[in-house]
Amino acid sequence: MGVTRPQGELNQMNPDSTFRRVLRRTAPVAAAAAIGAGAGAGVYALTSGGSSSPSTQSATPTAIVPAQPASSTQTTSSLTSLYKSASAGVVDIVVNGSSTTPLGGSQQSQAEGSGFVIDTKGDIVTNEHVVDGANSIAVQFQSGKKADATLVGSDKSTDIAVIKVNVDASLLHPLPLGDSTTTQPGQEVVAIGSPFGLPGTMTAGIVSAINRTIQAPNNFSIAGTIQTDAAINHGNSGGPLIDVATGKVIGVNAQIESDSGGNDGVGFAIPINAAKNVATTLIAGGKVQHAYLGVTIGDATSGTGAQVRQVVSGSPADKAGLQAGDVITAVDDNTVSGADELTAAVGSRAPGDKVTLTVDRNGTTKTITVTLGTRPS
């Protein structure tokens, strides 16, 4: 997307210390690394016991609530049917890696995530942060069959990766991919994955909001993500978010926002259209490229627009004459109401595209033409 929000500013916008992040692998357990404003669904660290939670919390009494009857047998039947058809295409991913200790030694680590099959050739989509730094990757299918996987390619800017297995075709059950541009709040969805190392777990909810912006592993912004209240926890990363009505994948579960480090009902999925574009490029052997403006932005402090906080030296924005303090109010005559819309607008372009920015500079309206560059890795 080529624009970023300053992490410090995001922290100031969240004084209650709510944060979104992806759990990164370290030995012997995963360490939480901030990805954007806030705690995220991520890799589940496998310790020697294999059952420790990444977040340690004081024990609290458990309230026992009487079981309630299902709201309708039709809903139960629908979800049961969806699970039967979709779960065979979801895989558990175990990654072995190594890290350097403060004393210069090496420690081995193991972590777990999720993924889903997208074709009959053995290609599997997951999150980039699931396989980042992997020395070896293994997948387990619903049947219990295990297979080694190789990394086809990955893209930090969208947090999407593709891995590949060489197995009998009978094990491959590709999930149908939907169109995330039609996603609307209120749609019923399910998430399937391996939360806390429990493969084949399905949770249900709705699309809570669309067009959210989260931060990628390389600190650039991912626009257009889907917010859901379907329970997503550590280990769900890379698994599918499925539309109940169509049975099609509309997102790749990636992060959560949480005070506790566990599921608080605010999860985020990478839209499947973005994931499809990245996967297609990686499978074809290409390199994923993103348009780059070269500014750090936030919402305008007064009125509408995206305010430039910082201009990267030598970037397309710098060469075009953008300055810190400028408020970008439109891109190619399309109104920009805030930072998220500018991020989405730049993200929809390609490197080399020319865009015309309408800028308010100290009360004076200016028009600036920028030739977008290629986002640095």
Catalytic choice (237, 299, 315, 360): 237
Distance CA 348, CA 331 (A): 11
From the number of C-beta atoms within 10 Å of its C-beta (0-12, 13-18, 19+), residue 257 rates as: buried
According to DSSP, the residues that pair with 214 across neighbouring strands are 222
Cβ neighbours, 10 Å, residue 199? 21
Residue type, 216: A
Report CA Rg, the chain.
21
- Give the CA distances from residue 293 to residues 1, 166, 290, in Å, rounded to whole numbers and listed in that order: 8, 40, 10
Distance CA 91, CA 200 (A): 8
Catalytic annotation on 237? yes
Catalytic choice (129, 173, 234, 290): 129
Catalytic annotation on 129? yes
> Long-range contacts made by residues 204-210, C-beta under 8 angstroms, separation at least 24?
204/79, 204/230, 204/244, 205/229, 205/230, 205/231, 205/265, 206/230, 207/183, 208/265, 208/266, 209/185, 210/183, 210/184, 210/185
From the number of C-beta atoms within 10 Å of its C-beta (0-12, 13-18, 19+), residue 330 rates as: buried
Parallel, antiparallel or unpaired: strands 295-299 and 3-4: parallel
Distance CA 241, CA 114 (A): 12
Catalytic choice (92, 155, 159, 243): 159
CB proximity list for 18: less than 8 A, separation 6 or greater: 37, 38, 257, 258, 259
Distance CA 137, CA 77 (A): 35
Cβ neighbours, 10 Å, residue 21? 22
SS3 string, 74-89, reads HHHHHHHHHHHHHHHH
Catalytic residues: 129, 159, 237
